[in-house]
């Protein structure tokens, strides 16, 4: 019997597709919304101001250079909170991945 050769197929790497205009606007709006909640939280006793400020800056860091610099300053000034923020980012990414898989399965079952 002739032995069949198996070739390694290398997928063509494409650059990532830039986000749509509406996705970018939504991201900026969400970031500014969290910053607004953070500022309100500095004065209101029942809202965690620092948490909302950190989330808003984290969302806006890709869009604005000043937000990225502020995140870097926070990393140097508050290393313990930065670790917690990084762990939260990983947990949020894992949750989002699970949610997307669940939605894909649901959409597949609906289309059947």
Instruction: Report pLDDT digits (tens) over 40-75.
Output: 988 888 888 888 888 898 889 889 999 999 988 988
State pTM to two decimals. 0.63
Q: Which residues of 17-44 are buried (b: 16+ CB within 10 A; e: fewer)?
A: eeeeeeeeeeeeeebeebbebbeebeee
Q: Is the pLDDT of residue 2 over 70?
A: no
Return the residue matching tokens 């909302």.
52
């Amino acid at each position: 019997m002739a032995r069949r050769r198996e070739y390694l197929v290398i997928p063509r790497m494409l650059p990532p597709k830039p986000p749509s205009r509406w996705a970018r606007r939504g991201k900026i709006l969400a970031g500014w919304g969290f910053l607004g909640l953070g500022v309100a939280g500095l004065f209101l006793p029942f809202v965690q101001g620092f948490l909302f400020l950190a989330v808003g800056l984290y969302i806006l860091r890709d869009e604005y250079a000043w937000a990225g610099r502020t995140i870097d300053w926070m990393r140097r000034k508050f290393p313990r909170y930065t670790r917690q923020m990084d762990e939260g980012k990983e947990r949020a990414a894992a949750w989002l991945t699970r949610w997307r898989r669940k939605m894909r399965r649901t959409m597949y079952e609906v289309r059947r």
